[in-house]
Structure 1
Amino acid sequence: MASLSPVSLAGSDALSVIVPVYRSAASLPLLHERLTAVLEAVAPDHEIILVEDGGNDGTWSTIVSLAAADARVRGIRLSRNYGQHNALLCGVRAAKNPVIVTLDDDLQHPPEEIPLLLDELKRGDFDVVYGAPEREQHSFWRDTASIVTKIALMSAMGAQTARHVSAFRVFRTSLRDAFENYRSPLVSIDVLLTWGTTRFTHLKVRHEPRRIGVSNYSVWKLFTHAMNMMTGFSTLPLQLASFIGFGCTLLGIVLLAYILEQFIVYGRVVPGFYFIASITTVFAGAQLFALGMIGEYLARMYFRSMDKPVYSVAETTSADTLPHCSDSRVDAT
C-alpha cells in the first residue's frame, strides 16, 4: 500500500475543497466563482479538487478550462460513474491540506456558509462538522428517502450524529489514515469517518433550491444507498432476520401448544385451511427474508473477492493530482 502524501503544514487555514461532479457543466463556473470569493477571504492557501464521476458530457472540458485559468483548481476524471461517495474518496485521498471541505456541485450548499463550519471546527473539540440544512429543498419522496438513508446510517455509524449527516461537511484530513487500506467498491464517507473519530457535531445552514439542471439522485438510488449502508457496514439486517426467526419460532410453539390443548383437553381438532395457509405463509416469508439478508452479505463478500476497484482514474489536469493510494486504477494521465 503506498503511503499517503505528507499533508501541507503551510498553515492551519490551508483548505482542500472537494466537489464530486456529475453532469454539471452549467453550474461549475458559478460554483467556482462563489467558492473563490469565500476561500480567498478565509483560506488564501487552498485548493479546489473537482472529481468528474463519468458523466460523459461537457463537464470535463469545463473543469479543464477552470484548471487552466486557476492553478488552485485540480481536476480528476474517473473512467466511469462509480458513485458520489467513491468520487469523494478519490478526492479525499488526493487532498494536500490539513482540513477538507466537501459540498455538492449543484449550489444547494452555499459556499458562503463554509466559514461557519470552519469556525465550529476550530472552536470546539471536534474532528467533523456537518452543515445540516435548516430546511431541505427537495420533493416529499426525496425527503422521505433521505430519512430512510439516515436511519440506515445511524445503524452503520452507531452514532446519533447520523440524524444530521449531510454532503456539506468539514473534517480533518488526518482522519483518512483510519481508512487508508479500505478497498471495497461500496463506499460511505460518513461511515469511514467514524473509523477515525467519534467527535462529530453539526450546524444548521442554508439549503438553497436547485436552479440549474435536475438532481441525479433519484429515490431509488437513495434507497439502494441505504441498503448498501445497512448490509455493507452493519450487521443489523442479520440481527433483524434472527429476531424475526426467533419470533416465528415462539409463534409456532404457542400455536402447537394451543392445538395440543384443544385436542387433549377438549378432544377436538383445530379446523381451517385458511388458518394453516396463513401460518405457512408467515413462516415461509420469515425464512425467505432471512435467506435474502444472508444473500446480501454473501453478495458483498463476492464483490469484494472480485477485487473491483473503488474507482479508476482516467486522466487528471496535472501530474500531481493523482490520489496517493494503490487501490485505484489509473488508465492515463
Structure 2
Amino acid sequence: MTFESVSVVVPCYNSEASLPLLLEQLLPVLEAEVDRAEVILVNDDSRDGTWNAITQLAGMYPNVRGVNLMRNYGQHNALLCGIRAARGEVVITMDDDLQHPPEEIRPLLSKLAEGYDVVYGTPQREQHGIWRDMASQMTKLALQSAMGTDIARSVSAFRVFRTQLRDAFADYSSPFVNIDVLLTWATKRFAAVPVRHDARTIGVSNYTFKKLLTHAVNMITGFSVLPLQLASYVGFGTMLFGVVILIYVLVRYVINGGSVPGFPFLASMIAIFSGVQLFVVGIFGEYLARMYQRTMNRPIYTVRDEVGGPVAQAVEAEQL
C-alpha cells in the first residue's frame, strides 16, 4: 500500500459496549496495512460510560486518542473535530456500531491509491429498517443537491480521503456541518466501492426518521440554494396560472357579457396565492435563521478533555 500513515476517526455516542470490540477488530487490520496508524475516538457527550471506556482504551493502546466534547453537537461536528486532530496522511471515518467491517478498509485504500481523493464504502445491502432506509434515501437526494455531484447517491459514513483536503474548510465555522459537502469544496475526484455492511448487534441506532429528515432539511438549506430556486419557480408558475385565469375571465366577459359567478372560485384563487406566498416566505425564513445563527459565532464543537495524545506522540517519535 502506498500510504504510510492513516488516522481513523470514530464519532462515539452511547457506544460503551461496542468500542472494545471495534478496536479488537480494527487495530490488527491497521497494523497489517500501514506503518503508522492512530485511532481518534470522539465522544459526542454520550449518556453512558463511553468516555470512561475511551479513557481505558487510550491507556491500553498507545495509538488510540480520545476527545471528549462538552455537549452533544452531532455526528458530523464530532467528525470534523476528529478530522482536524488527525495526523495521518489519510483519514478514515467509520461508525462505532460495528456495522463497518474493518477488513473492508483495504479496498477503500486501494481505490484511493488509484488517484482519487475521496472513496466511499457503499453498503452492498443496507441493514436498517424500512423507515430508516426511506429517510436515508431522502437525505441522499438532499445531499445530491447540496454536493452537485452524482456520487452523492453512494455517500456513506464509511469513507477514506486525503488529509490535505481539510485545508479547504480549515476556516469553516458554521454550526451546521456536513463532511461530504465540505469535501466537495476541495475536490471532485470521488469514487465508491461496494463493501459489506453488517447488521447492528449491540444497542440501537440513534438516528430516527425525524432526525434524518431534520438533517436533510438543515443540509439542503445550509449548503444549497435549491429551495430559493424552487420558490422562484413556484412563484413564476402561480403568476402564469393567475394570468391564464385573468385571460379566461376577460374572454368570458367579452363573449357572454358577464363575470364569472361564484364565491368558491374566488376563495380558491385567494387560498392558492396565499399558500404560495407563505411557502416562499417560509423558505426565506429558513435561510435568514441560518444567517442569524452564523452571526452569533456559535462554536462547531468545544472540547472538554483529551486522552492519549502525549503517549501516542511519544510512541510515534520512537518509531521515527
1:152-163 superposed matches below 5 A: 152-163=142-153
Pairing 1:73–2:64 present: yes
Task: State the 1:319 CA deviation.
Answer: 5.3
Give the aligned partner of residue 316 of structure 2: none
- Please report how far the alpha carbon of residue 125 of structure 1 lies from its aligned counterpart in structure 2 after TM superposition: 2.0
2:48 to 45, 57, 66: 57
Normalized per residue, which structure has more helix? 2
- Per the normalisation by structure 2, the TM-score is 0.95
Answering whether residue 93 of structure 2 is matched by residue 102 of structure 1, we say: yes
Which 4+ residue blocks in structure 1 deviate beyond 2 angstroms?
318-321
Q: Bigger CA drift: 69-78 or 273-282? A: 273-282
Q: Distance in 2 between matches of 1:194 and 1:320?
A: 33
Match of 1:269 among 242, 259, 262: 259
| Distance in 1 of aligned mates of 2:263 and 2:129 | 46
1:150-188: CA deviation from partner (whole Å, max 9, x where unpaired): 111111101001010000000000000000000000000
Residue pairs, 1:124-135, within 5 angstroms = 124-135=114-125
TM-score (structure 1 length as normaliser):
0.91
Question: 2:75: which partner in 1?
Answer: 84
Q: Counterpart of 1:150?
A: 140
Q: Deviations over 1:62-89 (max 9, x none)?
A: 0000000001000000000000000000
Cα shift at 1:268: 2.1
> Offset at 1:277?
1.8
Structure 2, gaps ≥5 residues long:
312-320
Q: Which residue of 2 aligns with 1:331?
A: none
The number of aligned residues is 310
Q: How does 1:1-333 map to 2 (within 5 A)?
A: 12-122=3-113, 124-318=114-308
Question: Percentage identity across aligned positions?
Answer: 59
Aligned with 2:174: secondary structure?
Answer: coil
In structure 2, C-alpha distance between the alignment counterparts of 1:170 and 1:241, rounded to whole Å: 36
Aligned alpha-carbon RMSD (Å): 1.1
1:191-210 per-position Cα deviation (integer Å, ceiling 9, x unaligned) = 00000000000011011111
* CA distance in 1 between partners of 2:138 and 2:310 (Å): 39
Structure 1 residues 320 and 238: CA distance shift in structure 2, 3 A = farther
1:141 and 1:287 map into 2 onto residues whose CA distance is 32
Give the whole-Å Cα distance in 1 for the aligned partners of 2:310 and 2:243.
Answer: 66
Helix, strand or coil at the partner of 1:307: coil
List gaps (5 residues or longer) in structure 1: 1-10, 322-333
